Chain A
Amino acid sequence: MKIAVCMKRTPDSESRFKIAASSTAIDETGLKFDMDDFAGYAVEAALQLNEKAGGGETVVYAVGPDNVQETLRKAMSMGVDRAVHLKADAVPVDGIAVAKALAAELKTGGYDLILFGKHAFDSSAGVVGTATAELLGLPCITAASQLSVDGGTGSARRELEGAAEILSFPLPAVVTIDEGVARPRYPSLKGIMAAKKKPMETKPAQLGSARVTIQKMELPPERPAGRIIGEGSAAVPELVKLLQNEAKVL
């Protein structure tokens, strides 16, 4: 099968975030960037599908400045065959602008499946995958926790609140991946060495016009520190009183 995986490079979720002086972006100094977690699951899903099929090609795509090449390399060290870097000075916040660049590229790729993470950790918008499907006129399944292919038909499972649904769809299709598929593999040094020799194509991203921009970014208000009222059962009356009068939850 020919599978494309589109990925984003995002900062590590354990980081302490600060807002940059411009107040429209986060301050990137000291942040560690890596393949977005959900994109990692998408790569793993693609690799496993092709391993099971016993062949095929897996290709990764990313939009952004030169540093996304590092992330693309990592995907190749996991086993992806080649990478395409769609070069842009920055990744626009407008997911549709990104989707246009990807769709322009993927249109002629002849892919059976195009995978995305269900959303990226930093923006949590979940737009790019669905918008790309729309632009390509392909069926789209979002947040799949399992994915399999049999002949020309795909099957996916989506976790719902307290239930799950199993979907079936014709290929080619776009699927965005949730966690639940196997944990992304850890690249071996052998894989890392092999990735250095795998092809990476760079071309300018044909971004659509960005119609959405960030006006202002704010950190959530700091939570007031907790208060210790007392210990043991003696503290209960005071606690109940505070919950009733101050917190007004009782």
Chain B
Amino acid sequence: MTAGNIVFLFILIVAVGFFSLNVQRLVSYLQIGHPDARTGHPFTRLRNVFEIGIAQKKIFRDPVAGPMHALIFWGFMVLTAGTLEILIAGVYPAFSFEALLPKTIYTVYSASQDMFAVVVLAAVSFALYRRMVLHPRRLDGDDLEHTDALIILSMIAGLMITLLLSNAFMLAAFPQAMGPEKVVSHQLGSAFAHMMDPRTALARYHIFWWAHALLILAFLNYLPYSKHLHVITSLINVYFSNTSGPGVKGAMRSMDLEADVESFGASDVEQLSWKNLLDGYSCTECGRCTAACPANITGKLLSPRKIVINTRQRLMEKAPVMTGDRMDFMRPALSHGVESYEAATSDEVLGHRLLDSYITEEELWACTSCRACVVECPVSIDQLDIINEMRRNLVLTESRFPAELQPVFESLERNGSPWAFSAADRAGWTEGLDIPTMAQMRERGEKPDILFWVGCMGSFDDRAKKITVAFAHILRACGINFAILGQEEACHGDPARRMGNEYLYQILAKNTIETLDRYEVTTIVTHCPHCFHQMGNELPQFGGNYEVIHHSTYIERLLQDARVPLRSAEGQKLTVAYHDSCYLGRYNDVYDAPRQAMKRALPVIELIEAPRTKDRGLCCGAGGGRMFMEENTGKRINAERTEELLATGAAALAVACPFCMTMLTDGVKANGSEVPVYDISEIVAGQLQA
């Protein structure tokens, strides 16, 4: 060991020690959050880590930044092995993987180090160019701090340059020091060899070696102060995330309403779960979520990125006070953007909270719960979960919500429907159709094969009632033995849950289960994606387990089995732009069934896809209870979506959701267009034999 090795050992211990201290503090901050069991289903979690983390599946959704980032990431994975070797060799100069690995593997490894250094350098240069010259729109807004990104990118570039140069100078001094597989370094080395004598080259080697090693340690210690903390946390975050399963995607967490607590939902960071807080650490501020957010796109205040960044900022402000950790040197870097709070005293800090001080009510109520942000996030952050928890706090603890929602809550409570219609009129659409109710069938000692759950829209809304009738016609024509609940059907409470009123939701959900179980229902078909999602994915939380099928899938199966008596499509022609419903698509991955159903029923149909389609489809604006709220800020979401669909030039628009139907019908009208909007069942019903 030389003196240099000892000095390096000392620096290494200090650097790793300081890094560990910061990691330990970051972990202690997470512990102020609520417990949340996230360890089950390790295989699904590992699969997510491989697909989303290692294979960068979601990163690739961006065709430009995707490959760029993937190269940097893979380069990092490969180069980390080399970094380890370099750090150990800094203490024990004799150390090399060469002694540990079979020759061929070592050669591949050695070549990869050389190659990836170049690849990463190229990708980082492009990243710097993109950020400083191209200015992509999604990297703007939300008071973003760009210096941080520039520092990190420069550091990475520096790491690559010093790595290549130290190797090259070593080779300039001793051409045999490394195998011929290090092509780039050898090229550089022989160039340097012409310019200087071996002694000078060796001296330069030492300079760049130290520069490289110190840069590694500086980088490591800068991470906890940077949004690039995601380098450390993102794979961990993907592992613990539920956004791509395990569990049901998009199902809201159940709440213990009997808990003896002062506050329900979350108004501050300690009322969120540790996973929500880890999301904060993992956010790269890439803005993919916000760029896909229908509320943000149309000019509302809401930005899902801001929700996550605010959560982190508030955590960095409050957690040190709560954990008694007053080492202020940690805070400012990660809480950039809220300078005014940085110098706050403990009392001032405790006087702030996440709600109101950082995130306003207006932002929270702008969310359509469309899940676009969640689907886009490359590190599997659940922005929507934070929004939902905060809405719960607004409603359950503070009784604060847009005035339009009170009649909705009251009506759900009294009439079992978000609109003040009498339950007695629920089956009004059946007039003249002779559709049996469960009660009537039971009286006759019969049991239907399926329950047709009509839903509140399908029961009361004039336009949606036509969808209900069309679907009933199809069921009839196929000879399906079905029944409805009629007056006994009542809202399962999904709108209340989405609007934060978990209390009302649980009452309604339990009533629904009680009714369904009374009739021993096993299979339910519905044309409302919200009912479909709620009954199939969330009622199980309260012991309601049924097979729930959306009508698009059900019709598609009937068509596939050739059970639908169709008339000839000859002489007809129709171009259709289909609009994906969020609760069917992003919540339940049903993209093909509605399209296939239309195609099978009317083979001449031509489907045109809007630019934003399938899991990238733009919300109609009705979800998350937005249906019941005023939309006064910015452009109307349904206008934005309808214009996009009309611009395809399709002769008709198709939907598979009664809420989308309302929004698009209004959008078409407001646009002065005459293009009809059909539910997919209406297109199929139109092809039934007379």
Q: Which residues of A line the B interface, CB within 8 A? A: 12, 14-16, 30, 32, 34, 183, 185-193
Contact = CB atoms under 8 A, between A and B. Distances in A.
B422 A185 contact: no
A220 to B, nearest CB: 17
Contacts of B425: 16
9 tightest CB-CB pairs across the interface, nearest first? A189-B396, A16-B424, A188-B399, A12-B414, A189-B503, A32-B414, A14-B422, A190-B397, A186-B406
A192 B262 CA distance: 12
B63 to A, nearest CB: 46
Contact of A189 (B397, B414, B423): B397
B264 A190 contact: yes
Secondary structure of the A contact surface, majority rule? loop
Given A14-B421, A14-B422, A190 B396 contact: yes
Given A189-B257, A190-B263, A190-B264, A15 B397 contact: no
B412 to A, nearest CB: 11
B65 interface: no
B406 A183 contact: yes
B395 interface: yes
Interface in B391-449: 395-399, 401, 403, 406, 409-411, 413-415, 420-425
A192 B409 CA distance: 15
Interface string B202-218: 00000000000000000
Given A188-B395, A188-B399, A14 B420 contact: yes
A16 B420 CA distance: 12
29 contacts: A12-B414, A14-B411, A14-B415, A15-B422, A15-B424, A16-B424, A16-B425, A30-B423, A30-B487, A32-B414, A32-B415, A34-B413, A34-B414, A186-B406, A186-B409, A186-B410, A187-B399, A188-B395, A188-B398, A189-B257, A189-B264, A189-B396, A189-B397, A190-B263, A190-B396, A190-B397, A190-B398, A191-B399, A193-B260
Secondary structure of the B contact surface, majority rule? helix
A103 B403 CA distance: 37
Contacts of B487: 30
A240 B352 CA distance: 70
A16 B403 CA distance: 27
Given A183-B406, A188-B398, 5 more contacts: A12-B414, A14-B422, A15-B422, A183-B403, A190-B263
Contacts of B396: 188-190
Contacts of A185: 399
A141 B162 CA distance: 88
A16 B487 CA distance: 12
A16 B426 CA distance: 12
Interface residues of B, number: 28
Contacts of A193: 260
B41 to A, nearest CB: 31
Interface in B173-227: none
Contacts of A192: 503
Contacts of B410: 186
Contacts of B264: 189-190
A77 to B, nearest CB: 10
Nearest to B425: A16
Contacts of B399: 185-188, 191
**Residue from the set A183, A185, A190 with the largest chain B CB neighbour count within 10 Å:** A190
Contacts of B413: 34
Interface in B359-399: 395-399
Nearest to A184: B406
Nearest to A12: B414
A14 B425 CA distance: 10
B394 to A, nearest CB: 9
Contacts of B502: 189
Nearest to A33: B414
B263 A12 contact: no
A217 B415 CA distance: 25
**Residue from the set B260, B263, B396 with the largest chain A CB neighbour count within 10 Å:** B396
Contacts of B403: 183
A235 B398 CA distance: 57
B488 to A, nearest CB: 10
A235 B410 CA distance: 44
Given A183-B406, A186-B409, A189-B264, A12 B415 contact: yes
A34 B409 CA distance: 14
Nearest to A196: B258
Contacts of A15: 422, 424
A187 B81 CA distance: 59
Contacts of B423: 30
Nearest to A191: B399
Interface in B492-523: 502-503
Contacts of A16: 422, 424-425
Contacts of A34: 413-414
A17 to B, nearest CB: 10
A139 to B, nearest CB: 33
Contacts of B411: 14
B634 to A, nearest CB: 27
B647 to A, nearest CB: 36
B260 to A, nearest CB: 8
B398 A14 contact: no
B437 to A, nearest CB: 14
Nearest to A189: B396
Interface string B103-139: 0000000000000000000000000000000000000
A242 B329 CA distance: 88
Nearest to B258: A193
B173 to A, nearest CB: 74
Contacts of B422: 14-16
A225 to B, nearest CB: 14
A129 to B, nearest CB: 24
Interface in B471-488: 487
A79 to B, nearest CB: 10
Contacts of B406: 183, 186
A193 B414 CA distance: 20
A74 to B, nearest CB: 10
Contacts of A190: 262-264, 396-398
A190 B257 CA distance: 10
Contacts of A14: 411, 414-415, 420-422
A34 B424 CA distance: 18
Contacts of A187: 399
B434 to A, nearest CB: 21
Contacts of B503: 189, 192
A73 to B, nearest CB: 14
Contacts of A12: 414-415
A13 to B, nearest CB: 9
B365 to A, nearest CB: 15
A183 B410 CA distance: 12
B300 to A, nearest CB: 24
Interface in B629-648: none
Contacts of A30: 423-424, 487
Interface string B253-268: 0000100101110000
B256 to A, nearest CB: 11
A188 B503 CA distance: 9
A183 B263 CA distance: 24
B510 to A, nearest CB: 16
**Residue from the set A14, A187, A191 with the largest chain B CB neighbour count within 10 Å:** A14
Contacts of B257: 189
A24 B1 CA distance: 106
A188 B415 contact: no
Contacts of B398: 188, 190
A60 B263 CA distance: 26
A14 B487 CA distance: 14
Contacts of A186: 399, 401, 406, 409-410
Interface in B643-687: none
A35 to B, nearest CB: 11
A183 B405 CA distance: 13
A191 to B, nearest CB: 7
Contacts of A183: 403, 406
